[in-house]
Amino acid sequence: MSLKSKLQNFLQIPIMRKLRESDDSDPVLAYAGFLIMTVMYYYDTDRFFLYTLLAVPAGWCMMKFYDFVAKHKWIGPLCYLVYMFAGLELIGMIINWGRKDYPISFLVWFLTPQSVVSFSGWYTAAIYLLMLGFLTSIVYYFAKTRYRMSMQFLIMLIPLSFYAKEGQHMPAFLVIVLLASYFLLMIYCRMLRDTDKQRYIPSSQGKISIAMYVLAFSVLASVILKPKITPDREFIDNAMSYSSWSDILMNAISMFTDTTDNSVSVSNNTRTIYYVNSPESLRLRTQTYSYYNGDEDSWNVSESYDKPSGDLQEPMTDKPQDVLQAILDAAALDQDFAETYDLTEFAGMTLPEQDLRDLYLYTKFTTQVLPSPTRTLVLGSEIDKDYVKQTLMNTVAAPSFANGVSLQYYSDTYAKYEAVNPVLRKLSNQNYHDLLLMAIEILEARDPEQAALLIRADREYSNAYSYLDFVNAVDFQSDAIDLLAQEITAGCHSDFEKAQAIEQYFIQQGFVYDQSYQKSRGENAESFLTQSRTGVCYEFATAMVLLCRSAGLPARYTQGYSLSELYDSRIDHHETNYLIKVRDAHAFPEVYISGYGWLSFEPTVPSMDIPEQSQAENQIIMQWGFVLLLLALFAGMIYWKLPAMQEFFFRKKLLHMTPQQCATALFQHMRRQLRLPDSATVNELAFQSRFFCPESELFTALDVLLYSHKQATESDIMTTPQLARTYLQWQASREQFEKEQAQRRKLEKQQNKKNN
């Protein structure tokens, strides 16, 4: 059996026949299917096409069920209620299965941008079933029960709202497909569906016209130049921040999430979450992460180091200036000590003062974490100090921001002071412990307070390197990163030199910051350093942490906010000069530097000069439009030349037929060209041909070959070449007659215009 025969048999299966007969549901089903596709592309880009394929049979069954509900006044709504409650029960079961292995609830996961939370298969399946039932229901209702195209337009905004939540643009091909399906649905509801007064009879010409209109609409909507618009999301985002849901989201996902992925700082959300008064632009930390998973390209916390209740903790309350000054004072008291550690030129030097700076933060949210600089020292009286826990990681937990929070900190810029930087460049972790022990011995008798300070510094140093050993034992390992770290830090002796060399490496080697870059599956910190060299702050911070660890420096991945947007205002009698918005989420490394302690760095390179995202998206849509235009022109050319091509191949086939086969083929072909029904006879064909071919031996031959039951002699019939030749004469006469008729109608039309 040929493939064509198998296909025909398959199409005769009852369910396939029903599908082919249900053309009236196609535009409605297509529109609902594309809506589902756009939603699932947001939640599961890799498998959205599979969800769409599954939605076709499921949606068709639902449309038939809705037809049943619409036709039955009492039993229909009852069945719909049963269907709705059963569906919600199934979705609830799936959500419960997902909740067992996921840290946050389904509702929080649903309301949160997907760049902030990790993927959940169960939750995604629940979203799919929810959208499948909801979207097919409302599309059917406003298309077939109550025709409301304005409501269909609002329905089309539902998937757009998912992308707006993320601050992203819907991909260009989805925009075009969704608009085309909406336009097709509008044509169907206006013209093609059956009503009480009229019945639509489908035809091939009608379908071609509709396809041309939809294609033309899609092309025009794509290629027409779009105005350059800068959307102002401030009002909407700030309005959302007053909702109680915002508090739930902040508490559920903000800073106690044990895993962070590569989505940091890719959201364009302009919602303001903190008002700040700060003397300088800062990097504010909220959570540290110790373990890097190279397979999943994500960071995880250590309960011992990254949680306020951890065991391996040490308060960072000492001033780095005091530690350095104590070392220099010891060098002034003991020349051997100064010479041993190359501090002779600094012995007895008085370092510049490291100010204790004030910082004020205010937010309308109830959050459990306080964004703070690396070395935050004193909290204001507004917060119960007994509740605050400052750890080695300096994660500060805060129960309330009702009246704002005042705190003090030591600025990281002190390490780069002209008088301080040369001293730090003399200190290395290779001998820092011995240096501290010798300095403590020198200072014990002369200045016990300084000696006690260096004892605490030595304990902080020991904890930091215990941390390094702790994470290196079980963390991600890469020979390529180890080798690169050795190359970058070659010739560097101090901790600060090594950290600065790694920090500058990304700028010197032309790494690119690009929020639009989409990483392929399997890419991680190693591929970022050796291949792509493109990413956002997550990639830069991760890479520097791993490079520092390979170079023998304790380092940790830190997540928080970048304080950079100036905005003068007054909140509860406090002056504020900075805003922190959702889009200011930032990642950066913190490195332990001998002589200073934990210090934050900024390896992320400045953003490259690229077109605005909205303009770039418009350009992509226009490119799709031109592709569609070329396809439309190609299809139009094929359609225009199709009759000639069909005629050419038909004539070629005739020469390989017997006279009986040739007569049958000619009769069917000529009947189609004159648009005669399948029941037309040869005499009716001859009658319709009387205007351009009144007498022809062809009809006599066809009559004999098709209807004669007796064995005809050679004189009664034509050979295949003769049949083909007479057919060509008939065809030429018909074409000439049609041209003359067209010319006559044109002249009559012109004459009528003159007479009028």
Where is mean pLDDT largest: 34-38, 153-157, 184-188, 635-639?
Answer: 34-38
Count the Cβ atoms, other than its own, within 10 Å of residue 136: 26
CA angle 256, 260, 262 (to 5 degrees): 155
Q: Dmax over Cα atoms in the chain, in whole Å?
A: 138
The CA distance from 5 to 8, in Å, is 5
The Cα–Cα gap between 571 and 429 comes to 45
Q: How many C-beta neighbours within 10 Å does residue 14 have? A: 7
Instruction: Answer whether residue 415 shows pLDDT above 80.
Output: yes
User: What's the Cα-to-Cα distance from 422 to each of 45, 324, 417, 427, 552, rounded to whole Å?
Assistant: 51, 12, 9, 9, 21
Question: Which of 160-169, 302-311, 642-651, 691-700 is the least confident region?
Answer: 302-311
Using alpha carbons, select from 629, 675, 741 the residue that is nearest to residue 218.
629
- CB burial string 52-87: b at 16+ within 10 A, e below: beebeebbbebbebbbebeeeeeebeeebeebeeee
Encode pLDDT of 87-137 as tens digits: 899 998 998 888 887 777 788 777 776 666 677 889 889 989 998 888 888
User: Residue 559: which H helix or E strand, with range?
Assistant: strand 555-563
Share of the chain above pLDDT 70, in %: 74
Q: Do residues 577 and 278 touch, judged by C-beta distance below 8 A?
A: yes
DSSP reduced 3-state for 590: strand
Amino acid at 752: N
Q: Does position 262 have pLDDT exceeding 70, yes or no? A: no
CA angle 237, 241, 247 (to 5 degrees): 145
Identify the pLDDT of residue 573.
67
Instruction: Round to whole Å and give the CA distance between 358 and 575.
Output: 12
Q: What are phi and psi of 502, to 5 degrees?
A: -70, -40
Taking only the tens place, the pLDDT of each residue in 35-77 is: 888 888 888 888 878 888 888 888 888 888 888 888 888 898 8
Q: Are 464 and 598 in contact (CB under 8 A)?
A: yes
What pLDDT is recorded for position 623? Answer: 66
Would you call 95 helix, strand, or coil by DSSP?
Answer: helix
The H or E element that residue 133 is part of is: helix 121-140
DSSP 171: P
User: In terms of pLDDT, which residue wins out, 745 or 365?
Assistant: 745
Average pLDDT over residues 488-503: 93
CA neighbor of 60 nearest in space, from 86, 11, 87, 22? 22
Q: Parallel, antiparallel, or unpaired for β 565-571 and 272-277? A: unpaired
Cα 167 from Cα 581, distance rounded (Å): 13
Predicted confidence (pLDDT) at residue 6 exceeds the cutoff of 80? no
User: Which strands make up the sheet holding 565-571, listed edge to edge?
Assistant: 375-379, 405-410, 356-362, 272-277, 574-581, 565-571
Q: Which amino acid is at 643?
A: P
pLDDT tier at 311, thresholds 50, 70, 90: very low
Q: How far apart are CA 436 and CA 459, in angstroms?
A: 10
Q: Which residue has the higher pLDDT, 183 or 262?
A: 183
pLDDT band per the 50, 70, 90 thresholds, residue 648: confident
Q: Residue 255: what pLDDT?
A: 42
Dihedral sign computed on CA atoms, order 38, 43, 49, 53: negative
Q: What are phi and psi of 563, to 5 degrees?
A: -95, 100
| Calpha distance 398→388 (Å, rounded) | 6
Q: Which one has a higher pLDDT value, 12 or 684?
A: 684
Taking phi over 0 as left and psi of -120 to 50 as alpha, with beta for the rest, 248 belongs to alpha
pLDDT average, residue stretch 467-495: 89
Distance, CA of 269 to CA of 748 (rounded, Å): 66
Whether 158 has a pLDDT exceeding 70, the answer reads: yes
pLDDT tens profile 595-629: 998 999 999 988 755 444 445 555 666 666 667 67
Alpha-carbon span 389 to 552, nearest angstrom: 29
Q: Rounded to 5 degrees, what are φ and ψ at 560?
A: 180, -130
Q: How confident is the model at residue 504 (pLDDT cuts 50, 70, 90)?
A: very high
- Distance (Å, rounded) from C-alpha 143 to C-alpha 281? 55
Higher pLDDT, 706 or 639: 706
β-pairing verdict for 291-293 and 298-300: antiparallel
Average pLDDT, whole number, for the chain? 78
pLDDT band at 12 (very low <50, low <70, confident <90, very high): low
- Residues 418-447 have pLDDT tens digits of 889 999 999 998 999 999 999 999 998 888
